[in-house]
């Protein structure tokens, strides 16, 4: 089993839809959590950090459930520009070398 | 507003050739990383440098060497390229500590024939 697993996708949704991605992690000692987006043939870019109490940034909401060891990302009112691959990233401890990247979930927002 | 800069962006090598991938960051970050990304897989850590003067192996270090030249620069060297090293390579940097997110360069697409 991979240490970080994500919905396999792809997700094809119409503009304006709400879409949710899930990510599970196996290491219960994991400390920090992030969502990155990666456009085709581009570098990963930080979308948002995920905090224990959950957090929101505009149309994006991230949740963390430590007991069940999963992280979610909700995108409301999808835009064409949201089309990308979304990477779940987990840090096993407080050391930078222990980031683990999920394989990503691809989202296509259709007109 | 450069952030993390990688060179070259593309490279084609023959098996057995050597080359160095360059990375520089202007954010005064202590930590720097080299990853490779292959289709269907998450990014995998090759080497990292927690601070100037230190380097350590990551998940997939075989066939690679690194140099942390100074706080800004972290290079990755392939001494004898193999087809299995065909990949997209990303350099990243971050403030010290795992709670800080990483910032990535725009990648080097490397093909080994």
**CB pair distance less than 8 Å for B50 and A101:** no
Give yes or no for residue B96 having a pLDDT over 80.
no
A52 in contact with chain B, both atoms CB, cutoff 8 A: no
Q: How far is CA B5 from CA A76, B30, B61, B74, B96, in A?
A: 33, 16, 22, 11, 19
pLDDT digits (tens, 9 = 90+) for B65-87: 999 989 999 999 999 999 999 99
With DSSP H G I counted as helix, E B as strand and the rest as coil, what are the percentages for chain B, rounded to 5?
A: 5, 50, 50
**CB pair distance less than 8 Å for A32 and B33:** no
Residue A95's pLDDT is what?
A: 65
CA of B3 to nearest chain A CA: how many angstroms apart?
12
pLDDT digits (tens, 9 = 90+) for B2-42: 799 999 999 999 999 999 999 999 999 999 999 999 987 78
**CB pair distance less than 8 Å for B43 and A43:** no
Residues of A with Cβ-Cβ distance to B97 under 8 angstroms:
94-96
In angstroms, how far is CA B60 from the centroid of its own chain?
Answer: 12
Beta strands in chain A (DSSP E): 4-6, 11-14, 19-25, 32-38, 44-50, 55-57, 60-65, 70-75, 84-91, 99-101, 105-110
Residue B99's pLDDT is what?
A: 77
Q: Is A91 helix (H, G, I), strand (E, B) or coil?
A: strand
CA of A67 to nearest chain B CA: how many angstroms apart?
20
A100 in contact with chain B, both atoms CB, cutoff 8 A: yes
Angle at A24 between CA B105 and CA A56, to 5 degrees: 65
What averages of pLDDT result for each successive group of 10 residues across chain A (111 residues)? 87 96 92 93 93 92 94 97 96 76 94 94
**CB pair distance less than 8 Å for B97 and A94:** yes
Residues of B with Cβ-Cβ distance to A33 under 8 angstroms:
none
The rounded distance, in Å, linking the Cα atoms of B36 and B24 is 17
Picking from B40, B102, B103, the nearest residue to A103 by CB comes out as B40
Residue B100's pLDDT band, with cuts at 50, 70 and 90, is confident
The rounded distance, in Å, linking the Cα atoms of B40 and B32 is 24
Residues of B with CB under 8 A from a CB of A: 31, 33, 35, 40-45, 48, 50, 56, 58, 90, 94, 96-107
């Amino acid at each position: 089993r991979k240490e970080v697993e994500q919905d396999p996708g792809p997700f094809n949704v119409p503009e304006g839809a709400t879409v949710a991605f899930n990510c599970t992690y196996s290491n219960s000692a994991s400390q920090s959590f992030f969502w990155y987006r990666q456009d085709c043939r581009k570098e990963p870019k930080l979308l948002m950090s995920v905090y224990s109490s959950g957090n929101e940034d505009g149309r994006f909401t991230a949740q963390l459930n430590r007991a069940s060891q999963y992280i979610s990302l909700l995108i409301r009112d999808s835009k064409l520009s949201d089309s990308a691959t979304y990477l779940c990233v987990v840090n096993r401890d407080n050391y930078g070398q222990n980031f683990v990247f999920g394989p990503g979930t691809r989202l296509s927002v259709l007109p | 507003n450069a952030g993390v800069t990688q060179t070259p962006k593309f490279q084609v090598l023959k098996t057995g050739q050597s080359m160095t991938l360059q990375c520089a960051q202007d954010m005064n970050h202590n930590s720097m990383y080299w990853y490779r990304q292959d289709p269907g897989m998450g990014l995998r850590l090759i080497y990292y440098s927690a601070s100037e003067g230190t380097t350590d192996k990551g998940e997939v270090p075989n066939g690679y060497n690194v140099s942390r030249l100074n706080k800004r620069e972290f290079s990755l060297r392939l001494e004898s390229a193999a087809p299995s090293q065909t990949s997209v390579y990303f350099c990243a940097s971050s403030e010290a500590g795992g709670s800080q997110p990483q910032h990535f360069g725009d990648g080097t697409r490397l093909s080994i024939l």
